[in-house]
Amino acid sequence: MRILVLGGDGFCGWPTVLHLATRGHTVAIVDNLIRRQWDIELGTHSITPIAPITERIATWQALTGQAIPFYDGDLQDYDFVSKVFREFQPESIVHFAEQRSAPYSMIDRAHAVFTQVNNIVGTLNVLYAIREFTPDAHLVKLGTMGEYGTPNIDIEEGYLEIEHNGRRDVMIYPKNPPSFYHLSKVHDSHNIFFACRIWGLRATDLNQGIVYNVVTDECERDARLWNRYDYDGVFGTALNRFCAEAVSGYPLTVHGKGGQTRGFIDIRDTVRCIELAALNPAEPGEMRVYNQFTEQWSVLQLAELVQRVAREMGMAVEMSHVENPRVEREEHYYQAKHTKLIDLGLEPHLLTDETIRVLLEKAAAHRDRINTADFPALVRWK
């Protein structure tokens, strides 16, 4: 299958590209490399040293003989998008190419506006390009479990059958997201649903949980293929950041009570889910929605897990309940469905001590690249 990966240089995008290539698909990357620029803006970097995109691609070609075309440009530029679609003629478009950090979107007004415009306009342009150049192609779009917020009822996969005053309808699941970033994904979902409905496009909206781990078989084949490993207060996410803190002798920073419960997924399952979604395209006119995570954890549970494994490895690890920079419930009901990807054949990697050990070792091997001043989540919601 000809698969175009938008955002193919990023944390989820790059391992997905290599996984899809290994599975025999013809893959091309679109990226404007802005994720690397945000590290420069924030004065931080991945724990793992990551090679330039050209070196990543050249290394892969040297190892496997597979060429991966790279289109360097911005999805907000429709001339560029048009050129890519005309040239590559994708059958499936995997769309990771969005600003994906909630704290980044909450830095200030300019970052909120940038996040929403970048994500919404990029996705609108992709929808118009599919319609214009490859109307039968299938859009596999990364959303987020954060779109749902933390409702007091069970979270279904995208839609909810509602009975009201004796009548029934199946409706888009009502959304209550916790940041301007998460809101941008809600906006995207509504736009995509509409484009499917009026133009007959095919789309799958993947509401992904929080991704942990950085290691995939393909990325480990050569140091120049390594994936990025974010630990800073803006782009670092719960489990990976805890591992970085543990190896640095820094207390694990739990926001508030830590009762915040979320869906989590191993990056080795992310890449599999993407292929499953691509291989099972939605029907024309349909926007499928899958909740792409494998387990629910509270933040405190994860911190305790990392603490235990790190202590077993001989590290002295403390825990610190820091003031929560976000506005969110710290104790709440949370029960989210996630059966559709399992039905398609996903065999989940559930979180094991071994995975945490690998992450701790990976961080420890590059401890000199960790700046503990980057740990605190300084962006405040209020």
Q: Is 79 in the site for a second copy (CB under 8 A)?
A: no
Please say whether the beta carbons of 83 and 72 come within 8 A: no
- Nearest distance, CB of residue 326 and a second copy, angstroms: 9
Q: Is 151 in the site for a second copy (CB under 8 A)?
A: yes
Please say whether the beta carbons of 5 and 71 come within 8 A: no
Question: Which H/E stretch holds residue 64?
Answer: helix 53-64
CA distances from 161 to 158, 168, 197 (A): 10, 7, 18
Q: Is 314 in the site for a second copy (CB under 8 A)?
A: no
Pick one of 62, 153, 223, 342: the residue that binds a second copy (CB under 8 A): 153
Other CB atoms within a 10 A radius of the CB of residue 343 amount to 10
Structure tokens that stand for 301 in this block: 């549970």
Find the part of the chain contacting a second copy (CB under 8 A) among 187-195, 234-242, 306-314, 338-346. Answer: 187-195
Pick one of 21, 27, 84, 120: the residue that binds a second copy (CB under 8 A): 120
Q: Which of 71, 148, 181, 250 is catalytic?
A: 181
Question: Which H/E stretch holds residue 359?
Answer: helix 353-365
DSSP state of 88: H
Pick one of 16, 22, 116, 213: the residue that binds a second copy (CB under 8 A): 116
The angle that helices 353-365 and 238-247 make with each other, rounded to 10 degrees, is 60
Annotation marks residue 181 as catalytic: yes
Strands (E), the chain: 2-6, 26-31, 70-72, 92-95, 138-144, 159-164, 167-172, 202-208, 210-212, 252-255, 261-266, 287-292, 295-298, 319-322
Task: Give the rounded distance of the alpha carbon of 48 from its chain centre.
Answer: 18
- Rule CB under 8 A: which of 333-372 touch a second copy? 333
Pick one of 86, 89, 197, 373: the residue that binds a second copy (CB under 8 A): 197
Pick one of 101, 125, 227, 291: the residue that binds a second copy (CB under 8 A): 125
Find the part of the chain contacting a second copy (CB under 8 A) among 135-143, 169-177, 305-313, 361-369. Answer: 169-177
Find the part of the chain contacting a second copy (CB under 8 A) among 163-171, 258-266, 291-299, 352-360. Answer: 163-171
Q: Is 121 in the site for a second copy (CB under 8 A)?
A: yes
Binding mask 252-281 for a second copy (x = CB under 8 A): ------------------------------
Q: Which of 22, 44, 150, 185 is catalytic?
A: 185
Annotation marks residue 144 as catalytic: yes
Q: Given 3-state DSSP classes, what are the helix, strand and coil percentages for the chain, each rounded to the nearest 5?
A: 40, 20, 40
Q: Is 152 in the site for a second copy (CB under 8 A)?
A: yes
For CA atoms 290, 295, 297, 299, the dihedral sign is negative
Q: Is 193 in the site for a second copy (CB under 8 A)?
A: yes
**Which stretches of the chain bind a second copy, using CB under 8 A?**
78, 109, 112-113, 116-117, 120-121, 124-125, 128, 151-154, 160, 162-165, 167-169, 171-180, 183, 186-187, 190-191, 193-194, 197-199, 327, 333, 381-382
Catalytic residue ranges = 144, 181, 185
